[in-house]
Structure 1
Amino acid sequence: MQRDDLADFLRRRREAIRPADVGLAEGPRRRTAGLRREEVALLAGMSTDYVVRLEQGRSAQPSAQMLSALARALRLTEDERDHLYHLAGQQPPRSPGGATHARAGLLRMLDLLGDTPATVASDLGETLAQNRMATLLFGDQTRFRGDRRFHAWRWFTDPEWRQAYPQEDAEHHSRVTVADLRATAARRHGDSDVDGLVHRLLAASPQFAALWGEHEVAVRRSDRKRIVNRQVGVIHLDCETLVTPDLGQKLLVLTPQPGTDAAEKLALLSVVGLTHFSA
Structure 2
Amino acid sequence: MDRSELAGFLRSRRERVGPREAGLAPGGRRQTPGLRRAEVALLAGISVDYYIRLEQGCGPRPSGQVLTALGRALRLSDDESDYLLGFAGRPPPRPSREVPGNVLRLLERLDAVPAMVINVRYDVLAWNRMLTALIGDLAEAPPERRNTLRWLFSGRLDEDKRALARRCVADLRASGRYPEDPAVREIVAELSAASPEFAALWAAREVEVQRTLTKRAVHPVAGELELDCEILPVPGTDQRVVLYTAAPGSLSRRGLELLRDG
TM-score range, shorter chain: 0.5 to 0.7
How many angstroms does 1:228 deviate by?
1.9
How many pairs are equivalent?
A: 170
How many angstroms does 1:110 deviate by?
0.7
Residues in 2 aligned to 1:144 and 1:120: alpha-carbon distance in whole angstroms = 16
Summarize the alignment of residues 180-195 of structure 1 with structure 2, pairs less than 5 Å apart. 180-184=171-175, 186-187=176-177, 189-195=179-185
Change (3 A) 1:143 1:103: farther
How many angstroms does 1:133 deviate by?
0.8
Aligned to 1:118: 115
How many angstroms does 1:158 deviate by?
4.1
**Which among 151, 171, 178 is matched to residue 162 of structure 2?**
171
**Which among 224, 234, 238 is matched to residue 234 of structure 1?**
224
- Does the 8 Å contact 1:228/1:234 carry over to 2? yes
Summarize the alignment of residues 80-229 of structure 1 with structure 2, pairs less than 5 Å apart. 98-145=95-142, 147-159=144-156, 167-184=158-175, 186-187=176-177, 189-229=179-219
Q: Which has the larger radius of gyration?
A: 2
How many angstroms does 1:146 deviate by?
6.0
Paired residue type of 2:174: A
Secondary structure at the aligned position of 1:226 is classed as: strand
Paired residue type of 2:208: A
- Does the 8 Å contact 2:95/2:238 carry over to 1? yes
- Does the 8 Å contact 1:147/1:197 carry over to 2? no
Residues in 2 aligned to 1:147 and 1:158: alpha-carbon distance in whole angstroms = 17
- Does the 8 Å contact 1:241/1:253 carry over to 2? yes
Residues in 2 aligned to 1:146 and 1:120: alpha-carbon distance in whole angstroms = 14
Aligned to 1:53: none
Residues in 2 aligned to 1:146 and 1:204: alpha-carbon distance in whole angstroms = 19
Residues in 2 aligned to 1:203 and 1:118: alpha-carbon distance in whole angstroms = 30
Residues in 1 aligned to 2:168 and 2:256: alpha-carbon distance in whole angstroms = 25
Residues in 2 aligned to 1:255 and 1:146: alpha-carbon distance in whole angstroms = 26
Normalised TM-score (structure 1): 0.56
Paired residue type of 1:180: D
**Any idea what the Cα deviations from partners look like across 1:81-134, whole Å, max 9, x if unmatched?**
xxxxxxxxxxxxxxx983222211111111122211111111211111111111
Residues in 2 aligned to 1:266 and 1:156: alpha-carbon distance in whole angstroms = 26
How many angstroms does 1:188 deviate by?
5.2
Secondary structure at the aligned position of 2:138 is classed as: coil
Change (3 A) 1:142 1:221: farther
How many angstroms does 1:154 deviate by?
2.1
How many angstroms does 1:249 deviate by?
0.7
- Percent of counterpart pairs with the same letter? 38
Normalised TM-score (structure 2): 0.59
Q: CA RMSD in A?
A: 2.2
**Any idea what the Cα deviations from partners look like across 1:180-236, whole Å, max 9, x if unmatched?**
21123x235411111111111111110100111111112211122223212221112
- Does the 8 Å contact 1:126/1:151 carry over to 2? yes
How many angstroms does 1:169 deviate by?
0.9
| Structure 2 gaps, min length 5 | 1-92
Secondary structure at the aligned position of 1:120 is classed as: strand
2:240 is equivalent to residue 243 of structure 1: no
Secondary structure at the aligned position of 1:102 is classed as: coil
Residues in 1 aligned to 2:107 and 2:134: alpha-carbon distance in whole angstroms = 15
| Structure 1 gaps, min length 5 | 1-95, 273-279
- Does the 8 Å contact 1:117/1:254 carry over to 2? yes
How many angstroms does 1:147 deviate by?
4.3
Paired residue type of 2:243: V
Aligned to 2:38: none
Residues in 1 aligned to 2:174 and 2:139: alpha-carbon distance in whole angstroms = 23
Secondary structure at the aligned position of 2:109 is classed as: helix
Aligned to 1:252: 242
